[in-house]
Chain A
Amino acid sequence: MDTQHVTVTVNGEAREADVEPRLLLVHLLRDVFGLTGTHIGCDTSNCGACTVHIDGESAKSCTLLALQVDGRRIKTIEGMASGADLHPLQQGFWDQHGLQCGFCTPGMIMQAAWMLERNPQPSEEEIREGISGNLCRCTGYVNIVKAIQQAAGMLSEADTAKAEAAAQVQG
C-alpha cells in the first residue's frame, strides 16, 4: 500500500515516518515509535487506555489516523516525568494506590492532567465526570479520585510557591 509522510513532535522531540494512510495514531506511537506506554483497550473510544494529548487537548489515539496529527504536538505518558522527578499525578497515583494492573493508568493520568489544566481545583463529582471516559476494572475509582485530589493539591502548592517566589523577586 502507498505510504505518506507524517511529521510530529512527540514529547518535545521531532519524529517522522512513512505510514499507510490507514495507520491509527496509537499504532504510530506504539509500533512505529516504540512508545508502548499508550495502551489499546477497546477500539471504540470507550475505555480511554489510549488517551494522549494533541496540541494540549486530550484525545483517544485509537480512533484517530496518524495522518490527522501531521505537524502537531503530541504528549504521551512517557513525557510526563522530568527525569527522576515524577509528575504530581504520577506521584499521586503511587501514593494513593490509584492503580492495580496498571493498564488503564497511562490513559487515566493523561486525562486527569488535561482535566486539571482546565479545572485546577475540581470537586469529587467533577473529577468523576472528568475521568468518565476512562475505564478502570481494578480499583473501583476510589483511589484514582484520591490520587487526582492529591495531585491537584501538589500542583496548587507548586503554583503558590512559584507565585511567592516571583513576588519576592519583584519585592
Chain B
Amino acid sequence: MAVEMEVPTQTTPEVGGMGHSVKRKEDPRFIRGAGRYIDDVVLPGMLWLDIVRSPYAHATIKGIDASAALKIPGVLAVITGADLEKAGLHWMPTLANDKQMVLPTDTVMYQSQEVAAVVATDRYTAADGVAAVVVDYEPLPVIVDPFKAMEAGAQVLRPDREDRPNNHIWHWESGDRDATDRALESAAVRVSQRMHIPRIHVASIETCGCIADWDAIRGQMTLHMTSQAPHAIRTVLALVSGLPEHNIRVKTYDIGGGFGGKVPVYPGYVLAVVASLTVGKPVKWIEDRSENLQADSFARDYHIHAEMGATADGRITSLKVRTLADHGYTDAAADPSKFPAGLFNVITGSYDFPDAFVEVDGVYTNKPPGGVAYRCSFRVTEAVHAIERMVDILAHQIGKDPAQLRMENFIQPEQFPYKTPTGWEYDSGDYGKALKLAMEMIGYDDLRREQAEKRERGQLMGIGISSFTEIVGAGPSHQFDILGLKMFDSCEIRVHPTGKVLARIGVQTQGQGHETTFAQIIAEELGFPVADIKIEYGDTDTAPYGLGTYASRSTPVAGAATAMASRKIREKARHLAAHLLEANPDDLEWTNGKFSVKGSPDRSKTIQEIAFAAYTNHPQGMEAGLEAVDYYDPPNLTFPFGSYICVVDIERSTGEIKIRRFVAVDDCGNIINPMIVNGQIHGGLTMGLAPALYEQITYDENGNNLAGTFMDYLLPTAVETPAWELGKTITPSPHHPIGAKGVGESATVGAPPAIANAVVDALWHLGVRNIDIPITPPKVWAILQEKGVAT
C-alpha cells in the first residue's frame, strides 16, 4: 500500500510544470528499440579494439610477443605499454590526483588489468588477436587484505610514488578528537562495533565503451562514449593528450545506466584514442560483462570501527569512527579534491549530539581501483550504514525501542539550519514526521506485538529502521572541485520565435528522465508547455560546461541553474511585455505564463507572444532574441532524508531472509515529477537491497576476482525484489531556487541498514550484535547452527 500524497502544482497538466506526473518524453524511442547506445553507433571505416588482460594480480612483465597476433589477417596493430611510454601516455591522472596505468611497462597490479590492446577490422578478429598475444610474466606476492598492506614491512606496492614510503595513501580526519575521547570516557553507556562494507560493483546493464574518431585533416578528435561527465572527460583528455581542447568533442548517447561507474576515465577509452590517432580511423572499444565486473572502478570496501557514547537512558553524546579504506592499486575515487574519503563525515546522521570524530586511512592493495560511488553521493552509504547500525545496537543494548531512541535523539525541526559536529550545515528537515509516517504505514506497534508472540513460539521475525540523512548536490565552489574544476553546473536556454524552447544542460542523463524533468522546471518558470521544450545534453560542442551527473547533483545544481536561467529570460520577457503593453515593467505581474498589467488582467501578453516579439518587435536599445545561460554555484549542499522500516522473517531451516514488507518514506524537498521520483526510489531501494543481501565482489588469496559474471555477482531479479511501499513528506530546501533536494540515491543509501537492522533485530535475543552485509543465507544459517536454533 502506497500513500499517495498530494503534490502541489501551479500549472495546468497541459503545461506540466512542477508536481505533475508528466509521462517521459524520452520513452517513445526506448520502447520501440530505437534508443541509441554507444554500441549501436557505427562509423564508416570503423575498427575494433580489444584488450589483453593480466591473469595475475601482481606480476612482472618480462616480455610481450605480438608476432602471432600480427599475423592474423585483419589484425592491424598491437599497442603495448612500451609504445605508450614513447608518447608519455602510459600513465594517466585519476580524478583523485593519483596515477593510473593506461598500460603497464613493467608490473601488473591486479587480475584482469589491461596489458596490451589489439586493433582489428571487427570484434571477432580483435578477440582472436587478443588470444594470440603471448605475455611472459613472473608472478609476485599478492596483497589482498588491506590490514596486511598496512603492516610494517609489507611489500610496497607503488614504488613509483616516492612521496609514499609504504602502502598508506592518505589520512583524513574530521571533528574534535579530544572532545570526543573525553565524552566517550565519561559516557554512561558505550557501544562499539566493527563492520565491513564490502566491495561492490554498479553493474549497469550497459557496460562501458567508446568510439574514438581522429580526423587528421581537420585536427579533430571526437570521442563518442558512455560518460556521466563528458566535459570533465574533455578537459582531462586535453591535459593528458596535449590535443587542444576546442578540437576535442566528447559526445554521449543514450546511456544504459551509470550509478557512478561511468564517471572515471578507464584505460580502454585512452587506448581507443591512441589507436585512432595511430591508425587514423574510428576505433570502437566495448567491454564485455566480465571485463566490466573485473576491471572497472569499484565502490565501498570500507573497514569501519565505530564507538558510540550515550547517557544511561539513551541520549547519544558522542561518536568515534576509525576506517581503513581499500582503494586497490591506485586511488581512482571520484571524490571532490578536498574530500579523499568523500562526505563520510556526514556520519552523525539525523541525530543531535555534540561530539564526533572520524578518521579514514586510504590503502593500496592488489585490486582494481576503487572508490567510485554505487548510486550514492561520495561515501554517504558507508556513513549511513555505520550510524544506523550503531543507533540500533545502542537501542538494543539498553533495551529501548529503536524507534523511540531515534525519536529522542533526532535533530528537531526548529534546530535547522543545523550545524553538525563535523562541520556540515543541514538545510532543513523534519525527521520525526517521516519516521512517524513510516510507523503508521507499516503498523509498527502491531508488528512489535506480533514479534513478541512469535519469539515465544521460537519464530524469527525482525523489524529494522533506518532514519537516514543524505548530503547531495556538490557543490559550493569554495569547498568542491574535481581536479581543480569547481562543481558548479549550468543551463542554457534559447526561446525560438514561435515559442518553442531548446535548453542545454551541463549534466547528463543515464535514465533519470532529464529530458522530461528539466523541461518541467522551465515549464514551471516560464509557462511553456513541456511538449514545446527540448532538452539536450552530452555534447561538449554545444552544451554549457558542467561537471556531470552523479552524487544526486543534477536537480540540486543543474536544476537550480535551469530555474535561474529561466528567471533571467522571464526578466527580459517582462521588459518586452512592458514594451508591447506600453506599461512600466514594475507594473506587470506574472501569472500562468503571461505578464499582465496589475489591476487590468485583460491587458496581458503570453510568453509565446513575447517570444515572437523578441525577434520581430523588440524595443530600440534592447538586444534581440530571448536566451539566457546560468552557471549555478550552490550556496550549500542539500540534505534529503527519510525513514525506512523493513520487516523480515527468517527461515530457521535454511537461513533464508524473507522481506515481508518494506515501507520507505522519503523527503526530497519539492517534487518536480512524482512519477519519476517514485521510480527513482523504487530503483534506489533495489540497489539498497542488492548489497544488503546479495552483491559482493570477493577475491581469493591470489587476487582473483571471484564474481566475474552475473552467475556469481547476483543482481536482484523481480522475484527477490519486494513490492516497495512508498510515502512522502515534503520539507523544501530553503536555499534551492525551486526548493528541491535531489532523490536519485536516497533509497540506495537508506535501505541497507534497514534490512541489516531487521535481520539483527530478529536474532539479537540469541546474542547476535552485527552481521556484515551481504547477509546471505549461509551466513545466517551458520549463526542459527551456532546458536542451536536451526531446524
Contact = CB atoms under 8 A, between A and B. Distances in A.
A43 interface: yes
Contacts of B35: 37, 102-103, 105
A142 B250 CA distance: 35
A129 interface: yes
A81 B254 CA distance: 21
Interface string B712-732: 000101110101100000000
Given A36-B33, A47-B205, A105-B30, A100 B513 contact: yes
A44 to B, nearest CB: 5
B257 A47 contact: no
Contacts of A143: 679, 682
Given A23-B124, A99-B27, A101-B255, A46 B718 contact: no
B654 to A, nearest CB: 19
Contacts of A38: 33
B31 A99 contact: yes
Which secondary structure characterizes the binding site on chain B? loop
B614 interface: no
B203 A94 contact: no
A76 interface: yes
A90 B31 contact: yes
A104 B205 contact: yes
Interface hub of B28, B30, B675, B709 (most chain A Cβ within 10 A): B30
Contact of B257 (A27, A77, A103, A140): A103
A136 B27 CA distance: 16
Interface string B22-38: 01101111111111110
A100 B27 CA distance: 8
Contacts of B32: 37, 77-78, 80-81, 86, 90
Given A36-B36, A103-B256, A131-B718, A142 B511 contact: no
A145 interface: yes
Interface in B723-748: 723-724
A100 B717 contact: no
A43 B290 CA distance: 9
Given A44-B289, A137-B204, A140-B724, A109 B31 contact: yes
Contacts of A47: 205, 289, 710, 715
B23 A137 contact: no
Given A39-B37, A101-B206, A138 B724 contact: no
B715 A137 contact: yes
A114 interface: no
A7 interface: no
Nearest to A49: B205
Interface centre among B203, B205, B511, B723 (most CB of A within 10 A): B205
B671 to A, nearest CB: 14
Nearest to A77: B33
B710 A44 contact: yes
A128 B718 contact: yes
A7 B202 CA distance: 39
A156 interface: no
Contacts of B259: 137
A102 B203 contact: no
B686 A141 contact: yes
A169 B142 CA distance: 79
A97 B34 contact: no
A148 to B, nearest CB: 10
Interface string B654-698: 000000000000000000000110110111111100000000000
A95 interface: yes
B138 interface: no
B619 to A, nearest CB: 44
A132 B24 CA distance: 25
A165 interface: no
Contacts of B121: none
A90 B34 CA distance: 12
B412 interface: no
Contact of B205 (A44, A95, A124, A136): A136
B39 interface: yes
Nearest to B512: A100
B511 A97 contact: no
A41 B719 contact: no
Contact of B27 (A30, A76, A77, A94): A94
Contacts of B288: 43
B679 A100 contact: yes
A135 B715 contact: yes
B683 A100 contact: yes
Contacts of A128: 717-719, 721
Nearest to B40: A36
A97 B31 contact: no
B256 to A, nearest CB: 3
A20 interface: yes
Nearest to A142: B682
Interface in B242-269: 254-257, 259
Contacts of B685: 140
A76 B40 CA distance: 15
A103 B205 contact: yes
A52 B489 CA distance: 41
Interface of A: 20, 22-23, 27, 30-31, 34-44, 46-47, 49, 76-78, 80-81, 86, 90, 93-95, 97, 99-106, 109, 124, 127-129, 131-145
Interface of B: 23-24, 26-37, 39-40, 42, 123-124, 202-207, 254-257, 259, 288-290, 510-513, 675-676, 678-679, 681-687, 709-711, 715, 717-719, 721, 723-724
16 contacts: A20-B124, A36-B36, A37-B32, A39-B39, A39-B205, A39-B206, A78-B33, A80-B32, A90-B32, A99-B27, A101-B511, A124-B723, A137-B203, A138-B511, A139-B683, A141-B686
Given A138-B257, A140-B681, 15 more contacts: A77-B33, A78-B33, A80-B33, A97-B675, A97-B678, A100-B679, A101-B255, A102-B31, A103-B205, A104-B256, A135-B205, A135-B710, A138-B683, A139-B679, A140-B686
